[in-house]
Chain A
């Protein structure tokens, strides 16, 4: 039966057209994903270069540690993974590059370098979007009238009587169509993966996910398509299922999760931090140094030089500013992580969201990856402090040659 069904399928014009369409969609999504990743890599390469040149000229021009720290910027970035071309995920809405100084981190880390918000709103046609939302619709179009169409054409009884076992016939027909669509969808992804040197594990994982997803929708189509309704009613119900799983449930889930888990408002974080840093100018030096030394007992011996401006004091209140927002900022991170965890659970009920999240996880473009990147930025900023503090609070003399010892940001890749 298999052989004849394959033969039969290849003569089905609607099937051929849809497979071609899927191939085009998937190819376009993968191709533009690759182009976008190339653009981002190019942009990072340029920035790494320009950043280093800029820092070299600034650092060497300074005469003391304080100014060196003040005028030296440091690039941090999260390069696209080898699978990011398939799922851009958070990279369109969240920052994946920052340029930092030794000033208070909380005032810098939320600075955004986003793309065009209007484009982010409409959303990109990447492979993840295509697979999660467009692919099921194509399956629905292809599979909804497998039975109903034969009924309308008056062939249903003859087919079933000839085949003897009707279940096998419909399963064979559905699965063969699904496999055709699957190959057309995954093919360009694999080609893109080979082109960009994606790890076999990612490609295998993605293929397995999309296969499972296609199987899910095939079963749904077969199940609803078995009802003795006209094809149009079946199609309407299947699209209804798509709307429910793809938008209504996720939208509801998002509202519920955001209600359940509150995160501090960004304004509170910024204002608290800013107040702390600004007030310090008018506060007695001791008020700043006490909490600073509590955190860094090794600089207990440091004494503020003179009444006026002093770099050590300046950087100390920058750090104290960060310290006052620590709990808020941690709550902001924890809240986002918690929301993401809940979303991961909730997505089980909404397969399109689940697939998108899975692919984004593989691509390292999910919320988790954003939080990890933020964490690496924090770690790098801490390294910067560790580098400069001996100069600022100890008695290490400034030496422009020390630029070679500056911490280097290395992306997690």
Chain B
């Protein structure tokens, strides 16, 4: 063991004496801190703004005067997607997806106004986040520091001397591995800090710790890969060239190429395309605004039977409200079928892209990171679903009030004159059916479970590389 530690200490001493290594690491840390601070500020500002908008939107809805209930159904409500606590580290889809969703009766709108749509366009890599710094650039640091670890000894002729001391190849490799592992662990301190900040914002320890864990494994994969190449290469120039090429392929090319193949093998029909079919289906459902719509004959008959009334005017409740509820429920069922289909298709695409994590750990860690942070597609869909739940809840609440608090006679005579118009209103206290919107992420354990495949991919990568490294260390000869 002490031999291993000696190697480790020696490697650290070597780095500390290398101006290049110190400069590059210092630069990385400075940039990382800068990017972290900026992302933190941005997300906090966004959170603040969206929270504020949410409050204003709710107050405005509740402050509406006495009105015809169906007017409130069309008046609608806005919800805003609040960023997740860990978005300060990995904002994920936050900038790409719409932040504002308008909820109203009879429709499911899409979320609009993404940050990326209005931002200055400066190329594909300009959305720099702390997560991206680790996914793309931390491996470069590992390569820079580690590529010479073994091959350097070979080039300088110190390798035979070391092995002649009775040190085994595996010991030597283990010592270097420990040195680099220590380095990447220290490199993760900023993730730890982001995690602690997120904890104070309500994040769970399990999620933050898992996030730290996947990045540690990811960087260890690069450590193992770097040492493997350093052990097998004949000289430093070859080692760094091979590693740089591997970096290019694994971090830049493969993830983007996975997107290309996925869009072609699992294309996603546009929303307009599917809506065309949906609209035809919806038209067959009947118009809830129209009491005489033949679609509702059954409802009308059973209501009359239930209340023992001869005509709809004699009913204790307003049939227009009842029909509005029925129509909204039917419509929503259809809308949800299409929405679910759309989300399922999107998830299929995402899963297909994620499967490329077997080919590149960068994709695996990126997917795991978004999932754990709650900034992935699943959570975006979750937002849409929670918003939809809120929508159907307040719309049906208003429809119920329509049925129970407004008489049928007043209702149908509303357009007769000014006074009738005034009479066809219900009390503003009915607007309280609107629940306060609080977007909630999946539980930490669900998120970990959601990331299980990506975590398995990372585990497979580290396992295979460790085996290869043990083999390469074993055959290390002067």
* A307 engages B416 (CB within 8 Å): yes
Q: Is chain A's binding surface mostly helix, strand, loop or mixed?
A: helix
| Most chain B beta-carbon neighbours within 10 Å: one of A29, A36, A119, A253 | A119
| Contact yes or no, B53 A267, CB < 8 A | yes
Q: Are A308 and B415 in contact (CB under 8 A)?
A: yes
Q: In chain B, residues 103-138, which have Cβ atoms closer than 8 Å to a Cβ of chain A? A: 109-114, 116-128, 136-137
Task: Given A119-B349, A125-B256, A231-B240, answer yes or no on A113-B270 (Cβ-Cβ < 8 Å).
Answer: yes
Asked if A251 meets B49 with Cβ closer than 8 Å, knowing A116-B349, A122-B256, A339-B119, the reply is no
Most chain B CB within 10 A, of A47, A121, A261, A353, is at A121
B31: nearest residue on chain A (CB-CB)?
A248
Given contact pairs A129-B256, A274-B102, A307-B421, A342 touches B113 in the complex (Cβ within 8 A): no
User: Which has the most chain A C-beta neighbours within 10 Å: B65, B237, B414?
Assistant: B237
User: From residue A308, how far is it (CB to closest CB) to chain B in Å?
Assistant: 3
8 A-B pairs with least C-beta separation: A266-B113, A308-B415, A125-B256, A251-B128, A250-B122, A353-B123, A250-B126, A32-B260
Closest beta carbon of chain A to B248's beta carbon, Å: 5
A-B contacts, 22 listed (Cβ < 8 Å): A47-B272, A98-B272, A112-B114, A119-B263, A119-B349, A119-B353, A122-B255, A125-B257, A129-B256, A134-B248, A232-B147, A233-B20, A235-B241, A247-B125, A248-B31, A254-B126, A261-B120, A266-B100, A275-B60, A336-B117, A346-B122, A347-B123
Interface size on A, residues (CB 8 A): 101
Within 8 A of B (CB), among A3-59: 14, 25, 28-29, 32, 35-36, 39, 43, 46-47, 50-51, 54
A93 near B: Cβ within 8 Å? yes
Cβ A265 vs Cβ B113 within 8 A: yes
Contacts of B60 in A (CB 8 A): 271, 275
**Is there an interface contact between B76 and A266, defined as CB atoms closer than 8 Å?**
no
Q: Nearest-CB distance from A66 to chain B (Å)?
A: 15
The 0/1 profile, CB within 8 Å of A marked 1, for residues 13-41 of chain B is: 00000001000100100010001001000
Docked pose: A115 CA to B342 CA in angstroms: 11
The residue on B at minimum CB distance from A39 is: B267
Min distance, Cβ A321 to any Cβ of chain B, angstroms: 13
Instruction: Contact check, B121 vs A366: say whether CB atoms are below 8 A apart.
Output: yes
Are A278 and B75 in touch, CB under 8 angstroms?
yes
Kindly state whether residue A191 has any CB partner on chain B within 8 Å: no
Chain B, interface residues (CB within 8 Å), range: 35 or more
Query: Inside 8 A of A205's CB, which chain B residues have their CB?
Result: none
Q: Which A residues are in CB contact (< 8 Å) with B96?
A: 93, 117, 120-121
Binds B, one of A207-215, A238-246, A388-396: A238-246
A113 to B117, CA, bound (A): 13
Task: Write out, one digit per residue, whether chain B residues 139-179 have a CB within 8 A of any chain A CB (1) or not (0).
Answer: 01000100110000000000000000000000000000000
Residues of chain B lying within 8 A (CB to CB) of residue A307: 415-418, 421
Contact with A along B271-284 (1 / 0, CB 8 A): 11101100110000
Q: Do A270 and B140 touch across chains, with their CB atoms under 8 A apart? A: no
Q: Which residues of A contact B (CB under 8 A)?
A: 14, 25, 28-29, 32, 35-36, 39, 43, 46-47, 50-51, 54, 75, 89-90, 93-94, 97-99, 110-113, 115-125, 129, 132-134, 137-138, 140-141, 145, 148-149, 152, 230-233, 235-236, 239-240, 243, 246-248, 250-251, 253-255, 257-258, 261, 263, 265-267, 270-271, 274-275, 278, 281-282, 306-309, 332, 335-336, 339-340, 342-343, 346-347, 350, 352-353, 356-357, 360, 366-367
Instruction: Count contacts between A and B, CB distance < 8 Å.
Output: 266
Q: Please name all residues of chain A whose beta carbon is closer than 8 Å to the beta carbon of B466 when the two chains form the complex.
A: none
A54, B137: Cα distance in complex, Å: 52
Q: Which of B371-414 contact A (CB under 8 A)?
A: 376-377, 380, 414
In the complex, what's the smallest C-beta–C-beta distance from A257 to chain B, in angstroms? 4
